[in-house]
Amino acid sequence: MKSKKILSVILSAVMLCGTFLIGTPTLAAEEMPFTDVKSSDWFYESVKYAYNNSLMEGTGGTSFSPMMKLSRAQFVTILGRMAGAEKKEVSTFPDVEANSWYSGYVGWAVEAGIVKGLDNGTFGGNDPVT
C-alpha cells in the first residue's frame, strides 16, 4: 500500500509539472506497449501521460513496472526530461557510467544544484528515492 501511495504522489507531480512545462497533456497519442498497465488500473492515465510525453519509457520493451520503487537515476531522468534539460556528461561520481541512459541527466542535475550525491562520494543511481 505504501508503494501505491508513493507512486500516486510521483505520477501526480509528473502530470502537474508536465502540464506547466510541456503544455496540455496528449493522452490520445499512441497506445502504450506495456503489458503490466491495464486501462482499468488507477494509475493508467498518469502512466499514459508520462509515456506519451516522453517523461518515462518503461523498464523494458513491454513493461512499465508501476509497483517498482523509483530509483535516483530514474528520478533525475524524469526531472531532466520535464525541464527539457540538455544532457551534460560529468565524471563527478565513480558509479555513474559515462553515456549511460541516465548519466547526462545526472550531470545536468549536478550543474543545476539539484543533486550532490551521497556522503561516500557516489551518486547511488540504483538507490530508491526516499
On whether the CB atoms of residues 97 and 73 are closer than 8 A, the answer is no
CA distances 73 to 37, 67, 78, 80, 128, Å, are 22, 17, 9, 11, 9
Letter for the amino acid at 19?
T
- Does the pLDDT of residue 10 top 80, yes or no? no
CB atoms within 10 A of CB 80: 23
Instruction: State the average pLDDT over residues 49-70.
Output: 90
The answer to whether the predicted template modeling score (pTM) of the entire model surpasses 0.75 is no
- Phi then psi for residue 64, to 5 deg, are -105, -30
Instruction: State the average pLDDT over residues 21-28.
Output: 41
Question: Residue 19: what pLDDT?
Answer: 40
Question: Residue 96: what pLDDT?
Answer: 95
- What band does 38 get if pLDDT is binned at 50, 70 and 90? very high
Letter for the amino acid at 68?
M
